[in-house]
Structure formats: structure tokens, C-alpha cells
């Protein structure tokens, strides 16, 4: 029987940026496959609401409200989870943000904010968690990249730069940490209906363009990312390392 390969019972997953959207969907999906979950974000009230939803469904969940853009806060937060809650077997680096404006007008402070939120946070959390995983000789790290790791579109050049960096950071993490028993991979979502994309979802012009541009001819639903996350978090992917898995309705096939 193949299903035990995807069983996450007895594992614990930390998911950054998981009070809503893709992060929450992935946390819930891992919980449904047996993992205990640690939700992370900066808004404690949102985390409490999200945790309550998982607890009501019978899942094991805790919260940790450290800021993933603050190196010391991440290190201290991860160490506290390991000490007070238990070992982190799975890390999903999901925290991210978007800001859209023509590149010639892009504010420098927004550039710095995108770098810290989309790429520095993955390095901070990845390093903090990996130091514990390396001692145990095992661990799964999943970075959330994007179709913008491969593609570009007007008005989001800095976002594209950060997501390209996430893809190559994933490769670099694999190069350094695979020898210690860690598997580090990335999921690259296409266009999904999330709070981050709400303005685009609401735009009839953009949605029409997307449906024509994407072979699947529609937006993705966040629950459609769960299968990829469970695969990469489970024993089923034990020899998959440094890989970026595109879940995009085929949009990257049409460069």
C-alpha cells in the first residue's frame, strides 16, 4: 500500500505566514495528513483565529508570533519552539508580500521590504531550523517560490527578483545540507486566488488575460497546492532534493 509514504503522523511542521491564504491552506493540509502544526505570523489575533479553526477540526496546533524579517527574532522563536513545543521536522517558508508599480518609480523602501520579507526570511528561518535538523540528521524544508521564479511581468520586477532568489536559495540549501540528511525543495505556485492577489482576481481584464495565458484556463485554488506540500514533506520525496515543483496550471510551459 502506497499511502503510508504520505503519512505525516509523528511530525511537526512550522509554517511561516500561515494565518491566512496559501500558508494556512498548507498548514491545514499537512495537519490532515497527521502533522502537528506551528502557525507563524506577526498578528497574534489572526493566528489565534486560524489555530482555533484547526483545533476545532481535531488537529494539534500551536502558534508562534515572531517576525520572520528579524534575524534575532527568528532564531529566538525557533529555539523556543524546539525547547518548549518540540522538534521541527518540516519547515515551510511561506511568508511573502507583493507591491506593484513600474520599476522606474519603485520606492527604495519597498524594495528593501520585499527583500526582507520574501528572501531574507527564508534564509533566516531556514538557517535557524536547519541547525537543529542537522543535529538530528533529518528534516524537510519547503520554500515557496513562484512562477515569477521563471517569468516576468510589468510592474513586479523586484518581486520577480526575490522569487528567482528563492529558487536558487533552495538549490544552495540542498548543496550545503543534503549531506546532513535534509531535503530542501520549493513549490512554485502559479496564479492562485489569495488575499495577496485579490486586486488581480477582481480585475476582469487581468482574469481574462490569465485564463487565455494559462493552459488550464483558470485561477488556481489554494487547496490545489496541498498535494505538492504533502509529497515534499513526506517520505515519498526522500530522494527529491534541490527541486522546484511548479503548480501553475501549465503557465510555465508557454514561455
Q: Which domains does the chain have, with CATH numbers?
A: 3-248 (3.40.50.720)
Nearest-angstrom CA–CA distance, 20 and 50: 7
Residue range 109-133: mean pLDDT, rounded: 97
Percentage of the chain lying above the pLDDT 70 cut: 99
105 φ, ψ (degrees, to nearest 5): -110, 5
Binned at pLDDT 50, 70 and 90, residue 255 comes out as low
Lowest model confidence (mean pLDDT) among 101-105, 142-146, 172-176, 250-254: 250-254
pLDDT in tens, 146-188: 999 999 989 999 999 999 999 999 999 999 999 999 999 999 9
Residues 255/56, Cβ–Cβ less than 8 Å? no
Using CA atoms, how far residue 62 sits from 65, 83, 185, 210, 219, in Å, is: 10, 13, 24, 37, 31
- CA–chain centroid gap for 253, Å, is 22
3-state secondary structure at position 91: strand
Q: What phi and psi, each to the nearest 5 degrees, are found at residue 220?
A: -85, 155
CB 9 within 8 A of CB 37: no
In the beta sheet, which residues pair with residue 140?
90, 183
Q: Is the pLDDT of residue 196 over 80?
A: no
Residue 241 predicted with pLDDT over 60: yes
Task: Count the helices and strands in the chain (H runs, E runs).
Answer: 9, 7
Higher-scoring residue by pLDDT: 196, 94:
94
> Quick one: pLDDT at residue 234?
98
Report the alpha-carbon distance of residue 85 to residue 65 in Å, rounded: 14
Global pTM reads 0.95
Region 80-100 average pLDDT: 96
Determine phi and psi for 188, rounding to 5 degrees. Answer: -115, 95
C-alpha cell at 198: 485579490
**pLDDT given for residue 195 in this prediction:** 79
Residues catalogued as catalytic: 159
Here the cell at position 2 is: 502506497
Partners of 144 in the β-ladder: 187
Cα torsion 243, 69, 154, 164 to 10°: value is -20
How high is the mean pLDDT of the chain? Answer: 95
d(CA 204, CA 102): 21
Residue 58 has pLDDT above 60, yes or no: yes
Q: Residue 1: its pLDDT value, please?
A: 39
Contact 228, 247 (CB under 8 A): yes
- Helix (H, G, I), strand (E, B), or coil: what is residue 8? coil
Amino acid at each position: 500500500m502506497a499511502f503510508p509514504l504520505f503519512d505525516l503522523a509523528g511530525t511537526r511542521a512550522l509554517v511561516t505566514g500561515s494565518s491566512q491564504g496559501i500558508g494556512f491552506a498548507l498548514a491545514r493540509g499537512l495537519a490532515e495528513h497527521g502533522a502537528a502544526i506551528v502557525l507563524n505570523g506577526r498578528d497574534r489575533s489572526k493566528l489565534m483565529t486560524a489555530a482555533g479553526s484547526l483545533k476545532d477540526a481535531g488537529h494539534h496546533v500551536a502558534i508562534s508570533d515572531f517576525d520572520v524579517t528579524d534575524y534575532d527574532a527568528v532564531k529566538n522563536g525557533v529555539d523556543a519552539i524546539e525547547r518548549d513545543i518540540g522538534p521541527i521536522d518540516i519547515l515551510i517558508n511561506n511568508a511573502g508580500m507583493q507591491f506593484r508599480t513600474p520599476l522606474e518609480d519603485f520606492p527604495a523602501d519597498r524594495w528593501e521590504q520585499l527583500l526582507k520579507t520574501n528572501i531574507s526570511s527564508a534564509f533566516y528561518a531556514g538557517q535557524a531550523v536547519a541547525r537543529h535538523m542537522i543535529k538530528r540528521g533529518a528534516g524537510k524544508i519547503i520554500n515557496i517560490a513562484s512562477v515569477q521564479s521563471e517569468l516576468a511581468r510589468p510592474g513586479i520586477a523586484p518581486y520577480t527578483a526575490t522569487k528567482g532568489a528563492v529558487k536558487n536559495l533552495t538549490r544552495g540549501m540542498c548543496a550545503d545540507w543534503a549531506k546532513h540528511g535534509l531535503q530542501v525543495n520549493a513549490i512554485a505556485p502559479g496564479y492562485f486566488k489569495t488575499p495577496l492577489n485579490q486586486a488581480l482576481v477582481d480585475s476582469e481584464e487581468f482574469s481574462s488575460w490569465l485564463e487565455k495565458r494559462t493552459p488550464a484556463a483558470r485561477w488556481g485554488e489554494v487547496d490545489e497546492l496541498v498535494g505538492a506540500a504533502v509529497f515534499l514533506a513526506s517520505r515519498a520525496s526522500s530522494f527529491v532534493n534541490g527541486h522546484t515543483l511548479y503548480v501553475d496550471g501549465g503557465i510555465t510551459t508557454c514561455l
